[in-house]
Amino acid sequence: MTSLLACRECDLLQKEVPLAPGGSAQCGRCGATLYRNPAGGFDRTLAVTLAAAVCFLVANAFPIVGLEASGSRTSTTLLGTVATLHDQDMTAVAALVLVTTFLAPAIEIGAMLYLMLPVRLGRVPPGLPAVFRVVDAVHPWGMVEVFMLGTLVSLAKLAHLADVKPGIALWSFAVLMLLLAAGAVSFDARALWARVEAIR
């Protein structure tokens, strides 16, 4: 039996048709995108997510930047920055940085791996619908790109006051930002659910 899809913009019911890799289906009435079939699909998203997990671990294990002035050198990690903000009575800012640059990306990456790795291995993970909703709810809160922009602006302003040496974590955050964007573009929820139905 052919599946029917309702357009999110105009509610027109339409038949689901197979798409070539990289193709997309548009609504016959309003032209809105109904669904896509990203090239590489499920496996590409899984590979990008695994790479993002590695970059996330590196970005949080090593110093973001080092500053050297008057013979003294200092460096800090992301969590060290959060602790410093809290110690300087900027708890609200510390909480915001913690949630948007650490917790949200960590939860999103972890949940995506929880969903995709077992399915790739031919098993359906317990609580799949709930975890899928968590990914959907957490995604807008991940703001690694805002953190990167703020860091670059700060480094530009500090460059004339001290010798600034970007750490490996800064480069990892830059790559992480690109990988999260690539994962969001390549992720196809329909492909995930199709694999789950095939396993069941």
Q: pTM for this structure?
A: 0.80
Q: pLDDT-derived band of residue 1, with 50, 70 and 90 as boundaries?
A: very low
Predicted confidence (pLDDT) per residue in 104-127, tens digit: 999 999 999 999 999 999 999 999
The token pair that represents 69 in the structure block: 């002035």
Predicted confidence (pLDDT) per residue in 16-26, tens digit: 888 887 788 89
Q: Is the pLDDT of residue 29 over 60?
A: yes
Give the whole-number percent of the chain exceeding pLDDT 90.
34
pLDDT at 2: 58
- Of the candidates 184, 39, 53, 195, the one whose C-alpha atom is nearest the C-alpha of residue 121 is 195
Q: Is the pLDDT of residue 190 over 90?
A: no
Predicted confidence (pLDDT) per residue in 47-91, tens digit: 999 999 999 999 999 988 877 777 777 777 888 888 988 999 999
pLDDT at 56: 95
Q: Is the pLDDT of residue 147 over 90?
A: no
- Contacts for 48-54 with beta carbons within 8 Å, 24 or more apart? 48/179, 48/182, 48/183, 48/186, 49/109, 49/112, 49/113, 49/116, 49/179, 49/183, 50/113, 51/179, 52/109, 52/176, 52/179, 52/180, 52/183, 53/109, 53/110, 53/113
